[in-house]
Amino acid sequence: MAEIFKVLIVDDEPGMRSGVSRILNDFTVSLPDIKSEIKFQVIEAETAESGLTIIESQRPDILFLDNKLPGMSGLELLNIIAEKKIDILTVMITAYASLDTAVEATKNGAYDFLAKPFSPAEIKHMVRKACNRIVYKRQAKNLAEERKRVRFQFISVLAHELKSPLAAIQGYLNIVSDRVLGNELSVYDNVINRSLIRLDGMKKLIFDLLDMTRIESDQRRREFAQVNLCELAQKSIEASALIAKQQNIAINLDVRDDVVMQGDHTEIEIILNNLISNAVKYNKPDGKVDIKIAADDKKVVISVSDTGIGLKEDEIGKLFKDFVRIKNEQTRNILGSGLGLSTVKKLAQLYNGDISVKSEFTKGSCFTVELLKNSQEVLRDESSGNNILFKAD
């Protein structure tokens, strides 16, 4: 399927108009960025005035505009297009190619300049350039709109996630305030306890959110250094030790103490913290968490498996998206922001890696994160376009 771009040629010389029409009617442009080919439908106008009417009614994509016209001049039409903020890509044509007109025209929004007489090859070259420009602009616009949409959606969900615990806490406080259960304080124990749990959940959401925005905004300076994974894993295990002890969950760590990688200390710590705390939180009493960290000369593989509640097939698919929490009877009393795993995924991707999961419902899950040991070098190598490996400084 070919896409059709409309080309308007405004020129008072009939020969010029039919010449351009003839060349472009059989011309096809294919661009690497888009799948379909581009073909052209040429519309002709003799004056700037009639050209304007066509521009407003048919919205052509490309305009070839002669400057010397009877009545309104090409530059005047260009001004009107700019004033009306019409989205059209204009190429000025003139028999008197002079630098002044070219500068004047580009100042007024013309994309480029074509001097008469020009060959079919020249106009084809110009049209191909114009198409490239239009497609690029369109993609940039789509991307910007997509970003706006995602941002709006994120904020709506976030607002909802923050409002829910507030509403729950408010409801419980109202119950106490209205003495729904009488005047004895001890009967409100559960009400108070649940309120505190929801408050903790909200706090966790805010902390996770800060982690995530720091990663996504690129505000944080990433400090690359040699990271010892055994040390970091031990630190993360300590952070989850209290809950693990309460539930009598055993945590085993299998890693050689010399496994190192180039990375940002904080980022790797967030990855390990999230994986290990999840494995503890979503476990069962007397359960087990096995952490295995292995490495070859290129990558590090961290796998954390648990003997917990496991995941259903359909739950796995949405697990790594923002704010996704698996809601069921088992997860009801587990605090979570729904940002932990999506953050781990984003971080893993910063290290040219990824996260995957294998799980059996009610039996347990195993999360595996792969990270490139020297992701910075790969990045530099790709951007420099040669084979010299730059050492991280």
Short-list 355, 254, 248, 255, CA closest to 307 = 248
Q: Does the footprint of other proteins cover residue 327 (CB under 8 A)? A: yes
C-alpha torsion 162→164→166→168, nearest 10: -160
CB 19 within 8 A of CB 66: no
Residue 172 engages other proteins in binding (rule: CB under 8 A): yes
Report the residue from 26, 33, 100, 178 that binds other proteins according to the rule CB under 8 A: 178
Q: Where does this chain touch other proteins (CB under 8 A) — which range of 30-38, 161-169, 244-252, 302-310?
A: 161-169
Q: Which of 72, 175, 324, 378: binder of other proteins (CB under 8 A)?
A: 175
Q: Is 164 in the site for other proteins (CB under 8 A)?
A: yes
Q: Does 324 help bind other proteins (rule: CB under 8 A)? A: no
Q: How does strand 28-29 pair with strand 112-115?
A: unpaired
39 CB neighbour count, 10 Å cutoff: 15
Window of 163-171, 301-309, 315-323, 355-363 that interacts with other proteins by CB under 8 A: 163-171
Determine contact, residues 240/372, Cβ cutoff 8 Å: no
Distance CA 387, CA 393 (A): 18
DSSP H/E element including 305: strand 299-306
Work out whether 167 is an interface residue with other proteins (CB under 8 A): yes
- By CB under 8 A, the count of residues binding other proteins is 18
Task: Please identify, using beta-carbon distances, which residue of 165 and 340 lies nearer to other proteins.
Answer: 165
| Min CB(148)–other proteins separation in Å | 17
Answer yes or no whether residue 174 interacts with other proteins by CB under 8 A. Answer: yes
Q: Which helix (H) or strand (E) holds 227?
A: strand 224-228
Residues in Cβ contact with 219 at an 8 Å cutoff, skipping those fewer than 6 apart = 213
| Choice from 191, 260, 301, 334 touching other proteins (CB under 8 A) | 191
Q: Select the span of 3-11, 141-149, 167-175, 247-255 touching other proteins (CB under 8 A).
A: 167-175
171 binds other proteins (CB under 8 A): yes
State in angstroms the smallest separation of the CB of 328 from other proteins.
9
CB 10 within 8 A of CB 45: yes
Does position 350 interact with other proteins (CB under 8 A)? The reply is no
Give the span between the Cα atoms of 68 and 12, in whole angstroms.
Answer: 8
Rounded Cα distance, 315 and 123, in Å: 55
Stretch that binds other proteins, among 38-46, 138-146, 175-183, 385-393 (CB under 8 A): 175-183
Residue 187 per-residue DSSP state:
G
Q: Of 168, 239, 294, 366, which lies in the binding site for other proteins, with binding defined by CB under 8 A?
A: 168
Q: Cβ of residue 226: shortest distance to other proteins, in angstroms?
A: 46
CB of 274 to other proteins, least distance (A): 24
Distance CA 323, CA 265 (A): 25
Taking every pair of Cα atoms in the chain, the longest distance, rounded to a whole number of angstroms, is 98
| Alpha-carbon span 1 to 223, nearest angstrom | 49
Angle at 249 between CA 247 and CA 253, to 5 degrees: 150
- Residue of the chain from 36, 153, 170, 349 that contacts other proteins (CB under 8 A): 170
- Residue type at 4 in one-letter notation: I
Stretch that binds other proteins, among 13-21, 96-104, 156-164, 224-232 (CB under 8 A): 156-164
Q: CB under 8 A: which stretch of 85-93, 117-125, 191-199, 383-391 binds other proteins?
A: 191-199
Binding site for other proteins (CB under 8 A): 156, 163-164, 167-168, 170-172, 174-175, 178, 180-181, 191, 194, 198, 327, 332
